[in-house]
Amino acid sequence: MGPFGLLAILVIGAVAGWLAGQIVKGYGFGLVGNIVVGIVGAFIAGFILPRIGFGMGGGMLAAIVHATVGAVIFLFLLRLVKQG
């Protein structure tokens, strides 16, 4: 992976983390936190979504949606752990 691939991962992670923070109210982690939440969300979505038959095409928009769905799941799980 070259520098542009790494930059794409960081941008997708930041956007997905920010969107997930907007969807799941009460979560704002700043730029670095949003990137981490978005990247973790992408991994979660990559693991869960294909197993339930949900697939998207390629491209930047599909990657952002994919990572956002995973990030929302991740934030929901974080909320459950914090409450418990």
Burial 3-34 (b: 16+ CB within 10 A, else e): eeeeeebeebbbbbbbbbbeebeebebeeeeb
- Residue by residue, pLDDT tens for the chain (84 residues) are 788 888 888 888 888 988 988 888 766 677 788 888 888 888 888 888 888 887 777 788 888 888 899 999 888 888 888 876
**21 three-class SS:** helix
- Best CA proximity match to 68, nearest among 79, 80, 56: 56
Amino acid at 72: V
Q: The whole model's pTM is what?
A: 0.83
Q: Could you state, in order of their start, the residue ranges of all structural domains in the chain?
A: 13-83
Whether 75 contacts 40, CB under 8 Å: no
